[in-house]
Structure 1
Amino acid sequence: MALLRNLSVALKLPALMIAIAIGCLGMAGAIAYKVSHAQLIQEVSFRLGMLAETRATMIEDWFHETRSELGEKAAEPLVIDAATAFLSTYKTLGDDANAHLRRAYIDDNPNPADARADLEEAADNTAYSLFHKKFHADLRARVEALGLRDLLIVSAAGDVIYSVQKQEEFASNVAEDEGGLGTALRAALAPDAAFGFGDFAPTEARARAYLAAPLHNEWGDTIAALVFEVDDQALTHLTTMETGRTPTTELELLAGDHTRRSHLGLGGVQSAIGTQGTPNPAFDAALEGQRGVVDITLSDGRSYTAAYHPLNIAGRNWALIAAEPAEVIAAGPRALLERLLRGTAIALIAALALAWLAARNLARPLARIANAMGQVAAGDYESEIPAQRRGDEIGRIARALEALRRDLRQSRDDLKDGATTRAAMQSAQSDVVETLQTALARLAEGDLGASIAQEFPEDYERLRTDFNRATDRLQQAMLDVTQSAGAINDDVDHIAQASEDLGQRTERQAATVEETAAALDQLTASVTEAAKNAAEVDGIVGKAREDAQVSGEVVRQTIEAIGVIEASFQQISNNIKVIDDIAFQTNLLALNAGVEAARAGDAGLGFAVVASEVRLLAQRSSEAAREINTLITSSSEHVQTGVRLVGRTGGALKEIIASIRIIAERVTAIADSAREQSTGLSELNSAVGELDMTTQKNAAMFEQTSAASSELRRTAQGLRQNIERFKLRGEADGWAPDEGEWTGEEEPHSPELTDAPDLRAG
């Protein structure tokens, strides 16, 4: 920048103009290049997209037309009749029918391999050959009309029983074939199938695809399959035709497994159908059903702008790419850029010449103006500035400089005329300064009555007036300060006396508060202890209530147990009655047995003895039962008496529990009240403590106030002494400096201090 500032205008202007021209032309060229490149990319993208869409539609239409032709031919009576005839005569050839047909139509065919279709009837004198001669010409005509490679009829068992071209598939079984023919056949013969498709696969340098449709007899049964064999010529023609493409446009067709369906790939690669294609993101997107335009870069570094489009071939996803090399697309903008550069160079040369002429037209008058201004700077105010008649900025500069030259010349003349006036002004100013210096010296010595009576010149009269007014106001202020100092002195005395009295009362109040706090501490401790004892009594009463409740439960359980015992006694009594009845019956039986034994005589003696013993035992059992019954009856009466006593005990316990509950409630209320009293006394104790601290602080503050009052008294006395050093024109009316007292009629102190309340009253 320093170098640019130091250059002359003659060099600076051409340089700036050339720089501006280069910048503008460069920017315009860059914009033109980018716009043309973007427009070309847009045009190429649109063209490639239309090309890809058109070719994809043509390929799909070709496939659908071929499929439609297959369906129509499969429904023709001629084809069905031919299939029926070939099937019936094929079976008459026996188990080696395939070998026989291959020998008759392939091995013994007099025509070359690519002309085997010329043989209409073999020399084997079979019914198959007769029907072959009947239908072969019509079927061959259909193959040629449709542009097919071959037409085949395949039995439901998978045997190729007829072929127009008699190639290697003829007279062979393809039921288990994994190639395109077997795949198409199995799909067509599946239940409810309309057709089958076997995709292209390379076979000895040629690729074939198969479309198969089922053949039905008049009863609707599937008897065979009609198969179209198509080669890659149609796809090759559709992908290489020149319509809608430039010589540099490249097309590639891929199947879902990324194998080629066109011989030409990106980069002009020539390869067989079925080989692996060129992997890139465009193919992946198209196989996913997407369409669009994208920039791709192959593995070898070549870049393309590619349009991709999906295809649906027999329910399978194919992808078509139409691509233009990036270097071909960039060739047009590069040529435009070269033309722009050449035009820019010519424009810069012309701009340089124009800039030199313009700079020369500006630099010369500027140089003359600069020389004239140099003369003015040297003190020559008489030479006029040149170029004043120009209408441009240079003329305006020249006219402005001319006006400046005239003003400088006038200023020089004015300076000469004002020298005398300036000398007179300096003399008057010296007199004013001397008078003002004398007055200021008196004022500095403390003479506030110093004023300037001599009038100043008109320009300085305001200064004299302001000085006199300032001294008057200062003197009045000192008089006011003198009176205020006396008033302050009296007020300080009253404040000091009031502070001393208030401090004494505060000390007495602090002692009283301290005693009250001590008494509250003792009372708080007593109430806290009472609350603690009440809480303990509450706990004891609660424990007694719980024990009484447990005892009541025990009494209830005892009553229930005695009831169970009473029921058991009743059951035992019933059982003993049964035993007594049994003993009575046994006694009767023993008596009857003794009677019968006596009737029996000697034979019944032993039995009579036993009956007698049994009778004795029965009597003893009856007596024991009666004794037990008597004891049980007595025990039952005792148990009933115990039940009554326990019931009365339970009732007494219930009354005790109720009384204990009432006592517990009363004790709980007493404990709660004691706790509340303890809490309230604690808060009151805290408040009294804070009041004690506040009273102590107030006492300390009153001591500080007394000290401050003493200091303020000393300050007022010092202020009075300082004021006495000044000389006033008249002393203040109410102030006696020698005695230091106020002699006016009004009291100087504040009534708020004399009427302050007595703190001891509180």
Structure 2
Amino acid sequence: MKKAMKQSKLIAVLNGISIFALILMALLLLFYANVDKKLSQNNEDRFNLTYNANRFMNGSAYLTNEVRAYAATGDQVHYDNYWNEINNLKNRDQGVAAMQEIGITSGEQSMIDEMSALSNKLVPLEEDAMNNVQEKKLQKALDYVYGEEYSTSIAQINSLKEQFLSALDTRTAEEIRTLNLRLTIIRILIYTALVLVGVIQLVVMSVTRRKILHPIIAVRDQMGEISMGNLSAEFPLESDTSEIGMLVASIHETKKELKNYIHDIDSKLAQMAQGKMNLSIDTDYRGEFLPIQNALRQILDSLNLALSQINHTARQVSDESEQMASDAQVLSSGAAEQASAIQELSANIQSLSSQVSSTSQDADNARKTSMDSAAQLTACSKKMEELTSAMADISESSQKINGIIKTIEDISFQTNILAINASVEAARAGTYGRGFAVVADEVQSLANKSSIAAKDITKLIENSLELVQHGTALSGDTTEALAVGVSGSQSTADLIQKIADSAQQQALSLQQLTDGVEQISDVVQTNTATAEKSAASASELHKQAEELKQSVQKFQLR
């Protein structure tokens, strides 16, 4: 197996370089931001230094101009401006303080000190000039401010100003140029790191595709062929010491082992198909294929044992089947005799069953007739009970009529009394009461007739009550007699029902007995046919057993 760098190590190296380039680029970006901030600060400081230097110089020039203007004009305004600058504005002092705060070199500070010293030398001359102006000695004042000493000092101060501004501008410009150069270098390094990261990523993609993806695709296709059972498919990859190379080696080894196993199994099964059962499994299977080896051994052992037992059993079956054929013939003869006896018994039982069925039918008809009679007697008994109840109601109504008749008699009696009273009152009334007397007579006559009619009705009702009571007694006796008849009829119906049930039970039992005999007959017939078939089958079994022995003897057993 040839040596090769592992894909994980190669990818780790390339990713490490890429990460290093990214970290370097991040540091360069931070450094670039820092330098850019310094550049902005230096530009701001340069502007402020220049501004404050001009402020310092303009303050000095302003004092010179105000002194000269005051000496030339004598105008108090220039005098005030001068002292306002000295005492209040102090542009020179503030400009120097601002430049010192920003930062200046020692050379620049010495030039400022020299200019300050020269300015301080001019102060006495300026004060003398202003004093002469106040004394109205303008020419003398002009001699002071335009004299050789004053002009020489001003010229020296202006020369120092130019030197200071030039040195300041040169220094700050050089710092800015240095920072700009640094920014340019950092940008170049950032672009270089970015390009390096891009190149590394392209290399990683190329290596991943060439060293990982293509081999993995080939491995996937090869495993697909293996999963479909194709172990002869071409696999162009070669094994090496890398991870994928080791995977390729495993696939080659797997295909080789599978082919060996399949060839061995195919060979063994082919020999077994040819009847060679005295084989031995001598190929060593590995891993999960070890159960296949054990299974082949168990199959061979089981087949040897089973075929040996089959051979032994075939001999026994051949012997026993011959004896079975003889016994089956005897059994067939006995079954035929049983079938004849059972058929005769079945005919006798069917005749008896027919007679019992007829008796059961007659008992059932008698039961139905008795039940109908009992039902009719029961209906008559109910009607008599209703008649007795009606007679009782009639008797009760007659009693109520007696009360009504009594009321009619009372009304007739009262009407008669009323008629008598009316006659008396009519007699008292004389002529005027004659008509009322006639009415009273008619009312009295009507009351008498009502009393007579009530008495007649009372006699009739009393006769009716006697007849009703006699009818009620007769209906009660009749009801009791019918109740006794219904009870006897019900008892008769129950006895007939028991007889019918018993006859039906006997008929059912005979039917079951008939069915059982028929079943026995069928079984006997079946046994007869089965015995005959058994005899034939035993002969055929003997023949097949002989053929089985010859077939088993073809196998080469251990």
What is the TM-score of this pair, normalised by structure 2?
0.37
The higher-RCO structure (CA 8 Å, 6+ apart) is 2
| Richer in helix (by share) | 2
The TM-score normalised by the length of structure 1 is 0.28
